[in-house]
Amino acid sequence: MITDLRPVMIRLAEKQVHSESFATLFFDFSIDFKPGQFIMVWIPGVDEKPYTISHHTPDRFAITVEAKGLFSKKAVSLKKGDKVGIRGPFGNGFNIIAKPNIAVVAGGCGMAPLAPVIDALESPGKDNLIIIHGARSKEFLLYPDRFSTHRRICTDDGSKGHKGFVTDLLKQEILAREILTGEDPQTPCLDMVYACGPEIMMARVFDICEKHNIPCQVSLERYMRCGFGVCGACVCGDKVVCKDGPVFVSQTLRTMEDFNTTALLKSGKPVPLDQYASWRCQ
Amino acid sequence: MQTQFLGKSLKAPLVLASGVLGNNKAILERVWKNGCGLPTMKSIGPAPRDGHKNPTVIDLGDGMINAVGLPTPGYLNMEEEWQDLKDRDFPINASIYGGSVEEFVQVAEFVSAKGPDFIELNISCPNSDRHGMLFGVNPDSSHAVVSAVKKVVDVPLIAKLTPAAPNIGAIATACEDGGADAICAINTAGPGMIIDIESRMPVLDFKKGGLSGPMIKPIAVRCVYDIYQAVSIPIIGLGGITTGADAVEIIMAGASLVGMGSAVRYRGVTVFNQVNKELETWLKEHNTSIDAIRGAAHREGK
């Protein structure tokens, strides 16, 4: 049984290669799960890293890995039958609300934690579900055939959909809705925005939501060690991302001084986010 | 439960163990707001250090094993943190380490000038081959570090000891003789090891790691008991303390303050408030006080 105690070694059941840089690794095991939660993945002799669960059914789960650094390159090169150590799940996960008007905004591999959110939202069938999905270019758009809901696509290079950012599409959607509903702060035009992607993207999405009184939930990323809120490596303001997060709601984001500004390096040194990001991709 | 400790007034007799949370001012303050009388910063070292590769911390259910490996920006690279901490309305304990007496002195002198309320000497971490425990298993090297540091600091000095010392009472005595104002015991026990039998490899990347949490509490209680016999300076007792009853137990062994670290895993950051309440309730029910039960387990006195 997989728990949040010592890692359990399990075999890779299936690998789906999406493109040169993305692969999804499937494991035929059951694990407790709420969309947005993550597991610690150990490749013995290499390292252990947090990955969000990107697919989940009662007897199967998967992680989606972008080959960027030493560990992730190793992970995407794993073969069926190879064993990795898994412990988890960790973190709070997204709060899936029952209201009808919802937008999911994903940037790049930020789609990985949001895909199970969409799965959960699609199952009762939500006509009003909006999916906005952006990436650097066409090849980086994850799970092109996964959802029944139509996606609004944008890419940085214009290779598919709108050439520009997810925030352009989100603003368009909000304005279109406000023309119909009127700009009434008591009844915002969306009941919730779920977002994950580069932190600067999430900060922009949050700003837009604040301006239009729309509640949002975003999933943050920081360097992690324990996964359960003790070691403090992943502090963001007075929160630990692994345990208090990784999902944070508008109310928390408003007071989170390190959101979109600061992250700790492995040594514990706080640095500006861009410096952190370039270190993480080594 | 206002408590006096080395001339400072703490709002509660509870201490956050070094190495747990403690990475920035905001989280130290959050721990304090949740009932901790004295939050301890992560150990500050002489030079930038990343610590070990993951896995570094594994929960075993009844305690944890860790080899985080003393990550630090290095004492010269923490100006922002010190600036943040300047305007604080809570006390802090600055843990420091070095790889030699000279390094301890360098770091201590610099840190002392930044105005922490206490400095804690980490002569007890098992997760580096050239720091920490190396000093704390031997009375002479413990004395050497403490007495050298004592000359350059102007805040009370706490020596944090390892249960790996063959005679922890003798180490405590050496620290007291060297000028330590208090003893903090214990750091993690062991080190221990867990091996994954499928991959046939130690789980921790550093292979071995310090044990903490409920499974080491009896060792902590014994160590505090031994130290209380040996010295007359106050003791911060920690190691597996998770409940008010645990706190009572280690106070009866001789502790003046009670530390917690792994307890944050088992009961969350609010564990400090919970333990304060449990401790208070116990004392009220027994119509007694911390001062009255301190060292109570030493029936023949000291």
Tell me the three state secondary structure of residue B72.
strand
Nearest chain A residue (CA) to B53: A47
**Using CA atoms, how far apart are residues B158 and B236, in angstroms rounded to an integer?**
9
With an 8 Å Cβ cutoff, are B199 and A44 in contact? yes
On whether residue B123 sits in a domain, the answer given is yes
B220 contacts B241 by C-beta, under 8 angstroms: yes
Scored b (16 or more CB within 10 A) or e, A120-144 reads ebeeeebeebbbbbbbeeeebbbbe
Q: Which of A5, A230, A266 sits opposite B51 (nearest CB)?
A: A266
On whether residue B299 sits in a domain, the answer given is no
Peptide bond before residue A270 is cis, with ω within 30 degrees of 0:
no
Based on the domain organization, do A37 and A82 belong to the same domain? yes
Report, in angstroms and rounded to the nearest whole number, the Rg of chain A calculated over CA atoms. Answer: 18
Residues of A within an 8 Å Cβ radius of B: 4-7, 9, 40, 42, 44-45, 47-49, 83, 85, 87, 225-233, 235, 237-240, 257-258, 264-270
Q: Determine the distance in angstroms separating the CA of A193 from the nearest CA of chain B, rounded to an integer.
A: 28
Which candidate in B16, B20, B23, B83 is best for mutational testing of the A interface (most A CBs within 10 A)? B23
Structure-token pair, residue A42: 């150990």
Using the 3D structure, point to which of A64, A90, A116 is the last residue of a domain. Answer: A90
Beta bridge partners of B226: none
| Segment B53-85, tens digit of pLDDT | 999 999 999 999 999 999 999 999 999 999 999
Based on the domain organization, do A136 and A225 belong to the same domain? yes
How many inter-chain contacts (A to B, CB under 8 Å) are there? 127
On whether residue B146 sits in a domain, the answer given is yes
Nearest partner of A199 among A252, A262, A151, judged by Cα: A262
Based on the domain organization, do A118 and A79 belong to the same domain? no
With an 8 Å Cβ cutoff, are B58 and A240 in contact? no
- Tokens 């007897």, located at residue: A59
Q: Which of B53, B61, B72 sits opposite A268 (nearest CB)?
A: B72
Based on the domain organization, do A85 and A157 belong to the same domain? no
B94 contacts B134 by C-beta, under 8 angstroms: no
Task: Find the CATH number of the domain harbouring B158.
Answer: 3.20.20.70
B223 noted as active-site residue: no
Which candidate in A51, A223, A224, A225 is best for mutational testing of the B interface (most B CBs within 10 A)? A225
A222 contacts A233 by C-beta, under 8 angstroms: yes
| Segment B287-300, tens digit of pLDDT | 999 999 999 999 76
> Residue A106 has what pLDDT?
98
Quote the domain boundaries for residue B134. 3-293
On whether residue A3 sits in a domain, the answer given is no
- Which residues in chain B belong to E strands, given as ranges? 3-5, 8-10, 14-16, 57-59, 64-66, 93-96, 118-122, 157-161, 182-185, 189-193, 195-196, 201-202, 208-212, 235-237, 257-260
With an 8 Å Cβ cutoff, are B20 and A49 in contact? no
On whether residue B300 sits in a domain, the answer given is no
Nearest partner of B158 among B167, B150, B148, judged by Cα: B150
Nearest partner of B145 among B110, B190, B177, B184, judged by Cα: B177
Q: Report how far Cα A54 is from the mean position of its chain's Cα atoms.
A: 9
On whether residue A1 sits in a domain, the answer given is no
On whether residue A282 sits in a domain, the answer given is no
Nearest partner of A238 among B60, B33, B187, judged by Cα: B33
| Segment B158-206, tens digit of pLDDT | 999 999 999 999 999 999 999 999 999 999 999 999 999 999 999 999 9
A-chain CB neighbours of B88 within 8 Å are none
With an 8 Å Cβ cutoff, are B55 and A232 in contact? no
| DSSP assignment of B149-174 | HHTT--S-EEEEE-TTSTTHHHHHHH
With an 8 Å Cβ cutoff, are A40 and B54 in contact? yes
With an 8 Å Cβ cutoff, are B30 and A238 in contact? yes
Using the 3D structure, point to which of A61, A90, A119 is the last residue of a domain. Answer: A90
Based on the domain organization, do A179 and A243 belong to the same domain? yes
Q: Determine the distance in angstroms separating the CA of B259 from the nearest CA of chain A, rounded to an integer.
A: 14
Q: How many CB atoms lie within 10 A of CB A34?
A: 18
**Using CA atoms, how far apart are residues A111 and A89, in angstroms rounded to an integer?**
18
Instruction: Classify A111 in phi/psi space as left (phi over 0), alpha (psi -120 to 50) or beta.
Output: alpha
Based on the domain organization, do A141 and A53 belong to the same domain? no
- Give me the number of domains chain B comprises: 1
Which candidate in A226, A228, A258 is best for mutational testing of the B interface (most B CBs within 10 A)? A226
Q: Which of B26, B53, B59 sits opposite A237 (nearest CB)?
A: B26
A101 contacts A190 by C-beta, under 8 angstroms: yes
Based on the domain organization, do A69 and A172 belong to the same domain? no
On whether residue A107 sits in a domain, the answer given is yes
- Give me the number of domains chain A comprises: 2
> Residue A105 has what pLDDT?
98
Nearest chain A residue (CA) to B61: A5
Low-confidence ranges of chain A (pLDDT < 50): none
> Residue B50 has what pLDDT?
96
Based on the domain organization, do A30 and A123 belong to the same domain? no
B25-52 mean pLDDT: 97
- Which residues in B197-256 belong to E strands, given as ranges? 201-202, 208-212, 235-237
Is the pLDDT at B301 greater than 80? The verdict is no
Based on the domain organization, do A151 and A238 belong to the same domain? yes
On whether residue B222 sits in a domain, the answer given is yes
On whether residue A139 sits in a domain, the answer given is yes
| Segment B241-261, tens digit of pLDDT | 999 999 999 999 999 999 999
**Using CA atoms, how far apart are residues B233 and B106, in angstroms rounded to an integer?**
25
Using the 3D structure, point to which of A32, A61, A90 is the last residue of a domain. Answer: A90
Based on the domain organization, do A83 and A106 belong to the same domain? no
On whether residue A128 sits in a domain, the answer given is yes
Quote the domain boundaries for residue A41. 8-90
On whether residue A246 sits in a domain, the answer given is yes
| Segment A197-251, tens digit of pLDDT | 999 999 999 999 999 999 999 999 999 999 999 999 999 999 999 999 999 999 9
Structure-token pair, residue B4: 């006096």
Q: Which of A238, A240, A267 sits opposite B71 (nearest CB)?
A: A267
Structure-token pair, residue A52: 């969000």
Structure-token pair, residue B61: 């259910």
Element (H, E) at B223: helix B217-230
Task: Find the CATH number of the domain harbouring A20.
Answer: 2.40.30.10
Q: Which of B22, B72, B199 sits opposite A232 (nearest CB)?
A: B22
Based on the domain organization, do A122 and A255 belong to the same domain? yes
Based on the domain organization, do A73 and A131 belong to the same domain? no
